[in-house]
Structure formats: C-alpha cells, structure tokens
Amino acid sequence: MKQLREGGFLIAKIHQLSGRILAKKIKEYNLEEINPAQGRILFALWQKDGISIQELSKKTSLEKSTLTSMLDRLEDTGHLVRIPSKEDRRKIIVKLTEKDKKLQNAYIQISKEMTGLFYKGLTKREMDEFEKFLTRILDNLIAFEKGKKHGR
C-alpha cells in the first residue's frame, strides 16, 4: 500500500498551533490591539517602509481586497497612513507612523522567541535545508495559483 504524504496536514497543524502560541505571546507583551494577520503587514513594512499596496500584497500573500480592509483598520488605529505616490497618482504608498515604530522592538522579540521554538534542536544546516524545501513548496503553490487565475 502506498504511503500517504502528510506535508500539507503537518503544515496546517503547525500553522494552527503556532498561531495560538503567537496570540499568547502577543497578549504577554500587551499588544492585543494588533492581531497576527495585521502583525504580518507591519512586519513587511518594518522590513521596507513606504511601499505600494501591490508590493505589500505580494510580500504578505494577502489578496488586495483582504489587505485593503486590514489597512483600513490599521490606519483607523493610527498604525499607518496611505498616501498617493508622487510618481504615479494611481499608486498608493503605505507608510508606518511613529506609534507603530514603537511596537517594532516588542514584535522583534516575539519573532525571535517564535523562531527559537520553530528551530529548537535543529542544526544550521537542517534549518537552511528546511527553509529551502518550504520555499520550493511555496513557489509550487504560487505557480499553481497563478496558472488557475489565467485559466490553465
């Protein structure tokens, strides 16, 4: 009998469990006003602030409609602003506010703690190999989704 592969099932379980642990850590640091999905947006902006909504959508893998509603909430709570691009009036640039920049250190600490949990007991070589495999899986899924959107 052929062995069933469990990669997708394991990834789903890891996602669910890590989400619960992340939510607890966010609460420990008194950062409840930001949910994990919003944290993903802020994390992308901490890496590169002042980017377009299109670029932010690519970095976070969030659909533009989902991203727009999340940006609305983050803007309403004073974490970011959206401003028209000076080069292209059709483009909107997303920038962090000072309020959000203060949260960055706490989120960096939480990120380090989560990374420590993920990689506990793994060698550097195993971590590198694991990330290489995950990147390949992500690339496969992205390519499939793009193919489906284009009628393939």
Angle at 34 between CA 75 and CA 11, to 5 degrees: 120
Note whether 137 and 103 are same-domain residues.
no
With respect to residue 1, please indicate whether it lies within any of the assigned structural domains. no
With respect to residue 84, please indicate whether it lies within any of the assigned structural domains. yes
**Which pTM value belongs to this model?**
0.69
Give the CATH number, domain containing residue 43.
Answer: 1.10.10.10
Number of independent structural domains in the chain: 2
Note whether 116 and 144 are same-domain residues.
no
Note whether 133 and 83 are same-domain residues.
no
Residue 120 has pLDDT above 80, yes or no: yes
Q: What is the pLDDT of residue 149?
A: 61
Note whether 136 and 80 are same-domain residues.
no
Q: What is the pLDDT of residue 48?
A: 92
pLDDT band at 152 (very low <50, low <70, confident <90, very high): very low
Question: Distance between CA atoms of 110 and 62, rounded to whole angstroms?
Answer: 22
Note whether 141 and 70 are same-domain residues.
no
Note whether 40 and 67 are same-domain residues.
yes
More confident residue, 137 or 99: 137
Note whether 86 and 98 are same-domain residues.
yes
Which range has the worst mean pLDDT, 22-31, 101-110, 122-131, 132-141? 101-110
Q: What is the pLDDT of residue 13?
A: 96
pLDDT in tens, 73-110: 999 989 999 999 888 888 999 999 988 777 888 888 99
* Strand blocks (E) in the chain: 51-52, 80-84, 92-96
Return the closest-CA partner of residue 92 out of 51, 43, 46.
Answer: 51
Note whether 110 and 58 are same-domain residues.
yes
With respect to residue 136, please indicate whether it lies within any of the assigned structural domains. yes
- The whole domain housing 115 covers 9-120
> What tokens were used for 102?
């203060």
Q: What is the pLDDT of residue 150?
A: 54
Q: What is the pLDDT of residue 75?
A: 94
Contact 33, 75 (CB under 8 A): no
By the 10 Å C-beta count (0-12 exposed, 13-18 middle, 19+ buried), 45 is classed as buried
